Amino acid sequence: MKTSTFRIVPLSTEVAEAARRAAASGTLDHTVVVADSPQGYPCRHCLRFAKPGERLILFPYASIPAGHPYSETGPIFVHEQPCERYATTDQFPLDLRRGRVIRAYNSNYDMIDAEVVNASEPEAVIEKLLEKPETAFVDVRSVTRGCYTCRIQRQ
């Protein structure tokens, strides 16, 4: 079996817990939403789609920190209830194989490449982007809405 060259980095449990606390205390930019479709609400902590009826917190997350030309803050979901952080980090999450774009960044957080992937080949695109010496990490995003999904680093 081929060993993966990459490592999936889901949203940290610390960030997910902070979002849950902020939503519980009524912070205005943290909203509770109820999933109303099976593939519209990917939780960035467990990297699974929320099931219809499950509650999530919608909040802004700075995937690229402030102070850079490509600085970016955008909306993401986490389950409202504690969930298990995605653990099989050498495997691309099954729920995220469709509708994704993969962006490569250098160590200054500059975007240096991007490619839309189809369901059969996220691994090949990730490996190709990570082979570039200047790539520091790649980010997976929604191709339709642009939202940050997860980060991927070299093993």
C-beta closer to Zn ion: residue 20 or 100: 20
Residue 83: CB minimum distance to Zn ion, A: 3
Complex with Zn ion: residue 6 or 49, whichever CB lies closer: 49
Nearest-approach distance from CB 78 to Zn ion, in angstroms? 6
The residues binding Zn ion (CB under 5 A) are: 43, 45-46, 79, 83
Shortest CB 51 distance to Zn ion, Å: 11
Nearer to Zn ion, 79 or 103 (CB): 79
Radius of gyration, alpha carbons of the chain:
15
Closest distance of CB 46 from Zn ion, Å: 3
Judged by CB, which is closer to Zn ion: 130, or 141?
141
